[in-house]
């Protein structure tokens, strides 16, 4: 079985055919990395909330392998992390999954509409901010303003990390997608 995906670095937007096995393996690796990276950042006091490490490989997966790989990474990473390590807390799972899914969808949609290399470069930080803005607005129905938008207050290094992940994926995408 084959999966079609858009190679976003190629100016002609050629379609690269990738085997489902490779995509499945990469999804599993992204999930494992999204589970392991937060453990490293939680060794730093306040590192989890400041660096938002569980979204790093979600952004990389979405840009490199498409929306569905990003969504699977966004949903399964926190869920598997909770089931195996009890981290993140169960009350945080819906918020984390929502942000990851929004990040994946926003990144892939905006990148598919970008026509130039400069536009793709600018799309990544814009998509991260838009996804977090939408998530904050949706969380306002259940949380206070400070909690809903805490990532903008304390997670600036994490938002920058997601942007760098997206840029890295754009740079390495030609090598990954072959």
For residue 106, the model assigns a pLDDT of 95
For residue 130, the model assigns a pLDDT of 93
In angstroms, the CA 172 to CA 105 distance is 20
**For 122-135, how does the pLDDT look when each residue is reduced to its tens digit (9 = 90+)?**
999 999 889 988 98
* Low-confidence spans in the chain with pLDDT less than 50: 1-17, 175-178
6 beta partners: 15
Tokens for 176?
A: 């990954």
For residue 174, the model assigns a pLDDT of 58
pTM, 2 dp: 0.80
Domains of the chain: which residue ranges? 2-176
CATH of domain 2-176: 1.10.1760.20
Tokens for 124?
A: 């990544």
Helix (H) or strand (E) holding 56: helix 56-65
Distances (CA, A) of 28 to 24, 66, 74, 139, 144: 6, 14, 12, 29, 35
88: DSSP letter: S
Contact predicate 101/74, CB 8 Å: yes
Contact predicate 55/103, CB 8 Å: yes
For residue 113, the model assigns a pLDDT of 92
For residue 1, the model assigns a pLDDT of 42
For residue 177, the model assigns a pLDDT of 42
């Amino acid at each position: 079985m084959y999966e079609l995906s858009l190679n976003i670095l190629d100016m002609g937007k050629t379609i690269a055919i990738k085997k489902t096995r490779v995509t499945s393996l990469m999804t599993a690796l992204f999930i494992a990395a999204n589970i392991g990276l937060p453990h490293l950042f939680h060794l730093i006091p306040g590192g989890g909330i400041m660096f938002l490490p569980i979204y790093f490989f979600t952004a990389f997966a979405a840009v490199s392998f498409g929306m569905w790989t990003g969504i699977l990474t966004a949903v399964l990473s926190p869920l598997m992390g909770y089931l195996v390590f009890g981290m993140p807390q169960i009350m945080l799972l819906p918020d984390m999954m929502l942000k990851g899914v929004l990040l994946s969808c926003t990144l892939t949609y905006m990148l598919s509409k970008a026509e130039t290399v400069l536009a793709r470069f600018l799309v990544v930080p814009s998509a991260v901010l838009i996804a977090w803005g939408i998530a904050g607005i949706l969380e306002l129905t259940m949380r206070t303003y400070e909690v809903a938008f805490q990532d903008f207050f304390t997670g600036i290094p994490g938002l920058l990390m997601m942007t760098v992940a997206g840029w890295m994926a754009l740079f390495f995408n030609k090598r990954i997608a072959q």
